[in-house]
Amino acid sequence: MVSQETTVSLAFVAAGTVLWYLTYSTVENDLWAWIVLVGVGVLVPTVINERRG
């Protein structure tokens, strides 16, 4: 069975990838796309999993 932390991480990685692609295709600055990818795909699930204990 997949743990709750893994499920949260995978959901945000998928969302981060979609948002990265949309940002990359609409914004001319690649830095914003990178910030969205790392922020949504890495930082948000890490914070959520840490707060849940």
pLDDT confidence band for 47 (50 / 70 / 90):
very high
CA terminus-to-terminus distance, the chain = 19
Please give the radius of gyration of the chain, using alpha carbons only, rounded to the nearest integer.
12
Reported pTM: 0.88
Percentage of the chain with pLDDT > 70?
100
pLDDT per residue as tens digits for the range 9-24: 999 999 999 999 999 9
- At 27 the pLDDT is 94
Host H or E run for residue 43: none
Are the C-beta atoms of 8 and 50 separated by less than 8 Å?
no
d(CA 37, CA 44): 10
For residue 40, pLDDT beyond 90: yes
